[in-house]
Structure 1
Amino acid sequence: MGKPDFPHSILEFQARFVDVRACLDYLFACRWPDGFACPRCHGTAVWPLATRRTGECTTCHHQTSLTAGTVLHKTHTPLLQWFWAAYLMSTATPGISALQLQRQLGLGRYETAWTMLHKLRRAMVAPGRSLLTGEVEVDECEVGGPEAGRKGGRSNIAAAAKVAVAVEVRGKGSGRVRMQIIHDASAETLEAFVMANVATGSVVHTDGWMGYARPPKKGYDHRPRSQRAAKREGNPEPIMPRVHRAISNFKSWLRGTHRSVSAEHLQVYLDEFTFRYNRRASPMVSFQRLLGLESHHEPTTLRQIISEGPSAAKRNLN
């Protein structure tokens, strides 16, 4: 049979998920696309219990939760609101802020919307995602801190943080992107970023920063080039336009959608931008991934989210 598909329009979403029963049926079909199979005895018959979030095998009486292993695990928020949150987050081109989600879903507490979005963001990163290949542009930038053209003060996007960025070259366009907070722009740190995100045998383009002076290990074709040298050679075109475009788009997206974020949670916003950027041609296929129906890692708890930034929920819930 295979897993059910995902809604391709808001009208299809409304028609398919009219109540909690429809959400539960969808979860059941995603979890057991070929019919129920008890994880203990492999029995094929199940009794629904309570609100049908849990099923009991008729043979061995083992109980299995429909939401276990997904972002919906042990949630007290109605499933229909979760489905709407995943749909809005996956289909809205610029994403959605916690305040917007609270208004759209009629949630009583801002913190509920904030928690839902953070749980959805943590379902975006696939543990075994493939490395970037071919030709890859690599650069680093600073998110927050002084900005060109800004009269005094500091950017309110986030506390200053260094971010490494890699983008695949696909003709004149861009392929996939990877973004990661780094402690510094030293040769060791940048080399580790390249090795963790770019497949060996790839061509790695960088600028003339001394942190790239030591070529990456394990068979990379490193081709550094400075903008100043390019101009001396009579080439006024900017070097590495794809990675610079990705950095600019990320900063514009962060300002436009989220206004400000706490430094403690900046990485998950980098992950969200990466997720959107890499699926920009087919955003609706992200619906199942966000609900955790295609993930292979444990869902994140609120305690884990808060522990990543102890003061985030009090100081800057956005």
Structure 2
Amino acid sequence: MNKKSSSLTAGIDYPKNWSQFVDWFHDEQACRDYLYALRWPNGFICPNCLVHNVPYTLPKNKLKCVQCRKQTSVTAGTIFEKTRTPLKEWFAAIWYLTNQKNGVSALGIQRLLGLGSYQTAWAILHRLRYAMINPERDKLSGLVEVDETFVGGVVDINQQDKKKFVVLVAIELIEPKGFGRIRLRQVDKATKNNVEQFITDVIEPNSRIHTDGSAIYGSVDNMGYSRKKTVHLGSNIPAHETMPGVHRVASLLKRWLLGTYQGAVQSKQLDYYLDEYTFRFNRRKSRSRGLLFYRLLEQSVTTKPLTYKDIKTR
């Protein structure tokens, strides 16, 4: 059960600092116990028959349902399934990832954990980025700006053929001033169909959508939304002033990708980076890094396993 942040307490529900983190998660059993409480806060529920009971405990950290006799484990069916990396190292990676304001690279995780393989660190980070997005999250609402931007492209004279990727951006505006949550999505092209699907997926009906004058947004009024249209062509007012939200997000996203990952992002993995940026932006006002650690770990135990092949081909 996803607890409200207001009901969670630093030092009780999650570590409040690094010293406490080290004290809490000193061995694999401590990590498994914490995952168990996160996954089954009201007691074990068999993933197979959904019966609520106390399981048998078997060797090698296996759990056996007393009803259907199916064996499972606290990591089965989660982002940690079949991992060869100790949970202590996973926890350290999650703490480090959520405590770094601008993100971390796979090389940084490799050095931090002392991993022998860069690929292992790379896969860990991508799995955690995948877990950052809750598919059941609430849609955006109120006044929402929507636009498209380009990510990637030429960053030096030796990369003349580097392709730009199209990213759709939606951001809530908080009146009279301020920004709310965002949603990002990579698409092959900024077409009418792609934009309509994006809007339907991420914005609540009856919201007011602010767009530019592009024809790809022409059907918004017929989709259960009201549209505020601003035509930039020929206007004396810069686009970043009339639609400040989407332009701010696009600018910060590009700067973040360039600064943290040197712009070295491929199309197949861009979705993972967009997930991470969305997670960070939407929690930018969080005063507790420990709470971010808790939230990502909580989502990790409800996220289905992701194989290395899945990461390469997502």
TM-score, normalising length: structure 1: 0.84
Equivalent AA in structure 2 for residue 32 of structure 1 = W
* Cα pair 2:167 2:185 within 8 Å, conserved: yes
Output one character per residue of 1:103-162: Cα deviation in whole Å (capped at 9) or x when no partner.
11111110010010111111112122221100001111111225xxx7866589x73111
Question: What SS class does the counterpart of residue 205 from structure 1 fall into?
Answer: strand
**In 2, Cα distance between equivalents of 1:183 and 1:241:** 25
Cα RMSD after superposing both structures: 2.8
Residue 44 of structure 1 corresponds to 54
Q: Against the structure 1 CA distance between its residues 154 and 215, is the aligned structure 2 distance closer, same or farther, given a 3 Å change threshold?
A: farther
Give 1:238's aligned residue. 241
State the AA in 2 paired with 1:290. L
- Choose from 9, 26, 35 the match for 1:27: 35
Q: What secondary structure sits across from 2:304 in the alignment?
A: coil
Q: Distance in 1 between matches of 2:144 and 2:55?
A: 51
Paired residue for 1:315? none
Cα pair 2:205 2:224 within 8 Å, conserved: yes
Match of 1:70 among 72, 78, 82: 78
Taking a change above 3 Å as real, the CA distance of residues 116 and 229 of structure 1, as seen in their structure-2 partners, is same
Query: Relative to structure 1, is the Cα distance of residues 263 and 293 closer, same or farther in structure 2, using a 3 angstrom cutoff?
Result: closer
**Is it true that 1:266 corresponds to 2:274 in the alignment?**
no
Tell me which amino acid in the other structure corresponds to 2:312: I
- TM-superposed CA distance for 1:69, in Å, is 2.1
Report if the CA contact (8 A) 1:47-1:58 is conserved: no
DSSP-derived class of the 1:227 partner: coil
Report the Cα distance in structure 1 between the residues aligned to 2:68 and 2:183, rounded to whole angstroms.
46
Deviation, structure 1 residue 276: 1.0
Residue 201 of structure 1, aligned match among 202, 206, 218: 206
Secondary structure of the residue aligned to 2:140 is coil
Contact map agreement 1:46 1:58 (CA 8 A) in 2: yes
Distance 1:134 1:229, change over 3 A: farther
Given that residues 289 and 295 in structure 1 are in contact (C-alpha distance below 8 angstroms), is that contact kept between their aligned partners in structure 2?
no
Cα distance in 2, alignment partners of residues 63 and 196 from structure 1 = 37
Quickly say closer, same or farther: Cα 1:155–1:70, change in 2 above 3 A: farther
Corresponding position of 1:55: 63
1:301 aligned partner, one-letter code: T
**Does the aligned pair in 1 maintain the 2:145–2:245 contact within 8 Å?**
yes
Query: TM (normalized to structure 2)?
Result: 0.85
The 3-state SS of whatever aligns with 2:148 is strand
Name 2:293's counterpart in structure 1.
Answer: 287
Hey, what does 1:227 align to over in structure 2? 232
**Using the alignment, how far apart are the partners of 2:58 and 2:266 within structure 1?**
42
Query: SS state of the match for residue 238, structure 1?
Result: helix
CA change 1:285–1:19 in 2 (3 A) is same
3-state SS of 1:140 partner: strand
Q: Is the 8 A contact 1:205 1:222 kept in 2?
A: yes
Letter matched to residue 92 of structure 2 = W
Q: Is the 8 A contact 1:2 1:34 kept in 2?
A: no
Q: State the AA in 2 paired with 1:86.
A: I
For these two proteins, the number of residue pairs brought into alignment is 300
Equivalent-residue separation in structure 2 for 1:299 and 1:292 (angstroms): 14
Cα distance in 2 for partners of 1:113, 1:24 equals 21
Structure 2 alignment gaps of length 5 or more: 4-11
The answer to whether the Cα contact below 8 Å between 1:288 and 1:294 also exists between their aligned partners in 2 is: no
Counterpart Cα distance in 2 of 1:186 and 1:60: 50
Match of 2:129 among 121, 128, 135: 121
1:166 to 167, 170, 193: 170
After superposing on structure 2, the runs of 4+ consecutive aligned residues of structure 1 that deviate more than 6 Å are 1-4
Aligned counterparts of 2:227 and 2:23: Cα–Cα separation in 1: 52
Identity of aligned residues (%): 40
For 1:279, give the aligned amino acid: R
Please point out which of 93, 97, 102 is paired with 1:94.
Answer: 102
